[in-house]
Copies of this chain bind each other. A is one copy, B any other.
Amino acid sequence: MTQRIDKALIADENAKLLSDLNEDYQALGNKLARNDINIEEVTAKAEAFQIAVPSWGTGTGGTRFARFPGEGEPRNIFEKLEDSAVINDLSQCTERVSPHFPWDKVDDFTELKQFSDELNLSWDSINSNTFQDQPGQEHSFKYGSLSNTSAASRELAIAHNLDCIEWGKALGSKTLTVWVGDGSNHPGQQHFQSAFERYLESMKTIYAGLPSDWELHIEHKMFEPAFYSTIIQDWGSNILAAMELGPQAKSLVDLGHHAPNVNIEMIVSRLIQFKKLGGFHFNDSKYGDDDLDSGSLHPYQQFLIFNELVDAQYRNQEGFNPNYMLDQSHNVTDPIESLMNSAASVQRSYVSALLVDREKLSEYQQNNDALMASNTLKNAFNTDVSPILAMARLRKGGAIDPIATYRKASYRSAVAAKRPSSGGNGSGIV
């Protein structure tokens, strides 16, 4: 039987915090009203906000040096869904789960779909995996997958992606996300152009297998696992590939996949402008693809990205409908806690961006009043929207304070009893 958080417990915990929340919400509402912002409209948008949870994020992450597993880790996609349901029950903004194949492959996808339906969860983008070899795999991806010099390896990688589409159909997904580790570690190892041509040819075959109402999202990354060159190393190669493939192909932005100092919000704007923004993998990073909790280090950058997204909505930019997903590696925290916290962090950026006075901003921009334009953004960012976030959760049946409520429920120890550790202390993530 599925482990859940008792609704009565949530209600009890909320009851203790309700009076303070109401007071803070009222004060914020008054303040916003002075700027002609109706807090109820903002809260309604906060309630409608959704960000997907990655199935693999519910397990403890690791590095190439070590993985220190936590207790009660999910051992399969059903237990990952169980954890995801807890996240959504408390956060009320993570209805969708994004699976990774073959990690989450099951024999009976109907059973899996039924299980997720029961948990009120649906399925986000399908992630294919051709950066590892699977036991018994005939043709290795050691030297690449979709761009491998070996036709046999390429065909295997293509076939896996086409399988992913089939599995995704069974689950009701509408997107395939393709990230490959293809690249090289030595100058000369790969002929850059030939490799990219092979990649494009493979992707065209996958694209041809895409249902007409699906999108294909291409994810770029500067480095790792390849350390000299990576086939889709930046948004430039990404958008060129998406343009070569066709209108259903779009670019996906992972915040940790760029060169140092790069202006990511500007890349987001460019992708919006050229109608190629497919979606996001949210996380935070200081050095490389650190996969830290979203907004934990650079909350203003996350806000500036949402400033672009909300601006595109405000302008009714044609065809604008990106996917939002978390993609983090939880090495030292309880993954459920980090995912709840991060979902709220991204939601905070969205709500803060809604507060930007876009008419004034536009006027300041037109007049090159850099200081007041900057302050217009900062005023929105500095406004503490916590009461709106909490009220949105409360009204949808979630927790005012998801972390405290989760801890109170002792969920982790409860599942730990039901999920004996596999014993492995191995290095690296799985």
Footprint of B on A, CB under 8 Å? Answer: 20, 23-24, 27, 30-31, 34, 62-68, 131-135, 140-143, 149, 181, 184-194, 196-197, 222-225, 227-229, 233-237, 239-240, 258-263, 265-267, 269-270, 272-274, 285-288, 290-293, 296-300, 304, 307-308, 311, 331-334, 337-338, 341, 348, 361-362, 364-368, 370-378, 381-384, 386, 403, 425-430
Contact = CB atoms under 8 A, between A and B. Distances in A.
A1 B296 CA distance: 51
A356 B293 CA distance: 20
A258 B259 CA distance: 9
Nearest to A404: B372
A236 B292 contact: no
Nearest to A194: B365
Contact of A377 (B64, B187, B259): B187
A375 B340 CA distance: 12
B132 A65 contact: yes
A333 B307 CA distance: 22
Q: State the oligomeric state as a number of copies.
A: 4
A236 B233 contact: no
Given A236-B235, A274-B240, A371 B288 contact: no
B366 A149 contact: yes
Contacts of A229: 263, 266
A371 B186 contact: yes
B133 A65 contact: no
B227 A290 contact: yes
Contacts of A428: 62-65, 67, 426-429
Nearest to A27: B27
Given A189-B373, A377-B188, A261 B239 contact: no
Nearest to A137: B425
A360 to B, nearest CB: 10
Contact of A224 (B131, B287, B427): B287
Contact of A429 (B185, B189, B236, B427): B427
23 contacts: A23-B27, A64-B64, A64-B427, A65-B131, A134-B425, A184-B332, A185-B292, A186-B332, A188-B373, A188-B376, A189-B370, A190-B365, A191-B365, A192-B265, A196-B273, A236-B267, A236-B270, A261-B287, A298-B298, A299-B378, A426-B427, A427-B428, A427-B430
Given A62-B428, A185-B292, A227-B292, 6 more contacts: A185-B333, A187-B374, A189-B373, A192-B269, A192-B270, A428-B429
A116 to B, nearest CB: 27
A277 to B, nearest CB: 12
What 7 pairs between A and B have smallest CB-CB spacing? A428-B428, A236-B236, A259-B259, A427-B428, A227-B290, A27-B27, A192-B269
A369 B196 CA distance: 18
A132 B66 contact: yes
A365 B186 CA distance: 11
Given A187-B374, A374-B188, A224 B65 contact: yes
A348 B384 CA distance: 14
A364 B332 CA distance: 13
Kindly name the residue among A187, A191, A233, A273 whose own CB sees the greatest number of chain B CB atoms within 10 A: A187
